[in-house]
Amino acid sequence: MYSKDKMLITGGHPLAGEITVSGGKNTAVAVIPAALLCDAPCTIENLPDIDDVHALIEILETLGAKIDYVPGKYMTVDPTNAKGYHVPYKLTKRLRASYYLLGALIGRGHHAEVAYPGGCDLGSRPIDQHLKGFMALGADIDDRGGMVYAKADKLVGGDVFFDMVTVGGTINVMLAASKAEGNTIIYNAAKEPHIVDLANFLNSMGARIKGAGTDVIRIRGVQKTHACTYTVIPDQIETGTLMIAAAATRGDVTIHGCIPTHMEALTAKLLEMGVRVTENDDSIRVRPQGVQRAVNVKTQVYPGFPTDLQQPMTALLCMANGVSTVCETIFDQRFKHLDELRRMGAKIRLVDRTVLIDGVSELYGAPVTVTDLRAGAALIVAGLMAKGVTEIYETTYIDRGYERIEEKLRLLGADIRREKI
């Protein structure tokens, strides 16, 4: 990936003011393929206008769906003439979530040919549990030449027991099972907010899913689905990134339109650090309060500390007082941001999957390169804290998942801009 621009941040400006968070990226990338399961046009609101969404539009159009998209307002997906079932690598390589086309197409027409997904390189990311789930519903799977071929004469509900908690696997089986014959039970399901959101979307088109948000999800397959309008939940990770950026710059920021209960793991850590966090029904205010203390963080499945905030949190802790540890338990190689943070003066060491951070009193602007979406968020946080100018290369990764991030940060007083390379 080669970006045509770089981001320039002059650090040291405390963020201050109010900002509204966008719709959830990881919800959007599940809900858009899920629209293929609708037997009529459906309308989705509050989608973030990000590259992952643009890539999914292209994929759905290639399959024959008609899409009317007004960024910031709505997307109407009319899948009635979507006869396609083949999604080549040139399309799937643009985003990880392209694997949801498998579940959606199997559920829709019992036939899918989808190339293995691209997306952020966070170490090995197998999809064996997804495939196991499809097979439990009666699909024949052939996995060769970088493609997954899935076909079923009849899709029949079954029991799926995941060997580990998998967000993608849970979503994919929900998609495939929604219109299967009979009942499916997913055991050891993921509980992330976007799992619940997807279940609500599918239910609003007539699916019958119960238990989303717990570790056992029950799906009674339906034959027909109907038109619906659905609003996706706010982005939990964008909210967290803004909370961390506010703390990092010792600013005073109120984030509107978020769901504070989704943020509990981060809020608890910020409070432990000595940051003031106050919550209202749909807003969170982050303010400084004396010295920020080092803390220990361990990523876990929801409601634990999200792996998607591990990298920005690591950046924040680079300037906390004392030695922090950040243990990544979900992905084995989500550490590519560490070298870049070191360029900026961070004192960090990686031991197995734990980052040891010796807080420093200053970071310095430097040229750095983004290697994955949340590494991008980490470098933005570091840039906002650092003395001098940070030049961030490979911004394409950031645009995949954060809507107008520099515009939002500028509104809060950050000195941040883009320049063509």
Stretch that binds ligand EPU, among 138-146, 164-172, 283-291, 403-411 (CB under 6 A): 164-172
Cα–Cα distance, 239 to 243 (Å, whole number): 6
Residue 396 CB, nearest approach to ligand EPU (Å)? 14
Is 242 a residue that touches ligand EPU (CB under 6 A)?
no
**Which residues pair with residue 190 across a beta bridge?**
none
Cα–Cα distance, 22 to 149 (Å, whole number): 35
Is 285 buried (19+), middle (13-18) or exposed (0-12) by CB count in 10 A?
Answer: middle
Is 168 a residue that touches ligand EPU (CB under 6 A)?
yes
Backbone angles phi, psi at 229, to 5 degrees: -125, 130
Within its chain, how far is the Cα of 196 from the centroid?
14
Cα–Cα distance, 53 to 193 (Å, whole number): 19
Locate 238 and state its tokens: 């964008």
Q: Which of 68, 128, 143, 272 binds ligand EPU (CB under 6 A)?
A: 128
Segment 86-115, which members bind ligand EPU (CB under 6 A)? 96-97
- Number of shown-chain residues binding ligand EPU (CB under 6 A): 26
Cα–Cα distance, 118 to 57 (Å, whole number): 16
Is 291 a residue that touches ligand EPU (CB under 6 A)?
no
Q: Which of 3, 22, 46, 166 binds ligand EPU (CB under 6 A)?
A: 166
Is 29 a residue that touches ligand EPU (CB under 6 A)?
yes
Catalytic residue flag (residue 38): no
Stretch that binds ligand EPU, among 107-115, 160-168, 282-290, 388-396 (CB under 6 A): 160-168
DSSP one-letter string for 167-193? HHHHHHHHHHHTTSBSEEEEES----H
Q: Which of 6, 130, 191, 269 binds ligand EPU (CB under 6 A)?
A: 130
Q: Which of 44, 127, 199, 265 binds ligand EPU (CB under 6 A)?
A: 127
DSSP H helical ranges for 277-371: 310-317, 337-343
Locate 256 and state its tokens: 């509107």
Is 217 a residue that touches ligand EPU (CB under 6 A)?
no
Q: Which of 54, 125, 218, 293 binds ligand EPU (CB under 6 A)?
A: 125
CB 85 within 8 Å of CB 113: yes
Task: Select which of 42, 120, 258, 318 is catalytic.
Answer: 120
Enumerate binding residues for ligand EPU (CB under 6 A): 26, 29, 96-97, 120, 124-130, 164, 166-169, 190, 192, 307-308, 330-331, 373-374, 401
Catalytic residue set: 120
